Amino acid sequence: SYVLTQPPSVSVAPGQTARITCGENNIGSKSVNWYQQKPGQAPVVVVYDDNDRPSGIPERFSGSNSGNTATLTISRVEAGDEADYYCQVWDSSVDVVFGGGTKLTVL
Amino acid sequence: QVQLVESGGGVVQPGRSLRLSCAASGFSFRSHAMHWVRQAPGKGLEWVAAISFDGSEKYHADSVKGRFTISRDNSKYTLYLEMTSLRAEDTAVYYCARDPNTVTAWILDYWGQGTLVTVSS
């Protein structure tokens, strides 16, 4: 099976940079999407196809993907960025798979 | 603007059936693949099913294969999820989500607010 591994939590001070990882063997060969979910709300895509941003998503959100790790980077973190973040890929064996999610805490 | 509104959730006994609907507006529904994703209380996201723009291609997660069926009515701008033989572990908020492509790009670019399904005796 295909399992995407994310750290359960990441903490960062306002104004600093948060990096959330998503690991799986050879994930660099796949396209990774990232979703932000705030409490009580539906998820929102913040990065797709590794490093593209939908319109309306701040440039502070960026992605990278190489080897066995994909990374969502949030620069100049703000209190409003506090949320759960999920990575997601398509794999022929399981179709869509999500990572377990990472809770971003802004200190 | 793109709107997706799910309905049909509720409390259902194990072994029974339920049909969820997702009413779409603000975009050309017939030009997009669509997905269902669920989230158990306090847990992460789990993809459930996807369907191509014209309904000719359907995909279901192994956890629901043979029990759940995704379908769509483009004339009604509505997506469906027929759920049978429900189990306690199917308890979740069910979201419908749009795919940016006609056949699946496997990106979920707009989501509804979800409908809660509780399977309990």
Residue B104 has pLDDT above 90, yes or no: no
Question: Token digits for B87?
Answer: 């189990």
How many cross-chain Cβ pairs, A to B, lie less than 8 Å apart?
57
Residues in chain A within 8 Å Cβ distance of B107? 33, 45, 48-49
CB B20 within 8 A of CB B91: no
Cβ-based neighbours of B74, under 8 Å, separated by 6 or more:
B29, B30, B54, B55
The confidence score (pLDDT) of residue A13 equals 97
Q: What is the pLDDT of residue B101?
A: 84
Q: Please name the residue of chain A whose CA is at the shortest distance from the CA of residue B44.
A: A100
Task: Give the number of C-alpha atoms closer than 13 A to the C-alpha of residue B42, restricted to the C-beta side.
Answer: 1
| CA separation for the pair A93, A3 (Å, rounded) | 11
Taking CA atoms, what residue in B is nearest to A45? Answer: B109
For A14-61, the pLDDT digits (tens) are 999 999 999 999 999 999 999 999 999 999 999 999 999 999 999 999
Quick count: other Cβ atoms within 10 Å of Cβ A9? Answer: 12
Single-letter amino acid, residue A77: V
Q: Is the pLDDT of residue B17 over 90?
A: yes
pLDDT confidence tier of residue B115, bands split at 50, 70 and 90: very high
Residue-wise burial string across A19-37, b where 16 or more C-beta atoms lie within 10 A, e elsewhere: ebbbbbeebeebbbbbbbb
Q: What's the mean per-residue pLDDT of chain B?
A: 96
Q: Which residue, among B107, B95, B82, B51, has the nearest Cα to A41 in the 3D structure?
A: B95
C-beta atoms of A42 and B61 within 8 A: no
Q: How far is B14 from chain A (nearest CA, A)?
A: 26
Check if A63 contacts B (Cβ < 8 Å): no
Chain A residues close to B37, C-beta within 8 Å: 43
Residue the block writes with tokens 């259902």: B12
pLDDT in tens, B67-85: 999 999 999 999 999 999 9
Cβ-nearest to B112 among A37, A42, A84: A42
Which pLDDT does position B96 carry in this prediction? 98
Contact B2, B14 (CB under 8 A): no
Of B46, B106, B109, the CB nearest to A90: B106
Q: How far is A90 from chain B (nearest CA, A)?
A: 6
> Could you write out the three-class secondary structure of chain B?
CCEEEEECCEEECCCCCEEEEEEEECCCHHHCCEEEEEECCCCCEEEEEEECCCCCCEEECCCCCCCEEEEEEHHHCEEEEEECCCCHHHCEEEEEEECCCCCCCCCCCEECCCEEEEECC
Distance of alpha carbon A78 from alpha carbon A67, whole angstroms: 29
- Residues of B in CB contact (< 8 Å) with A are 35, 37, 44-47, 50, 59, 61-62, 95, 104, 106-109, 111-114
User: Which of these, A43, A45, A30, A47, lies nearest to A93 by C-alpha position?
Assistant: A30
Residue of B46, B108, B110, B116 for testing the chain A interface, max A β-carbons within 10 Å: B108
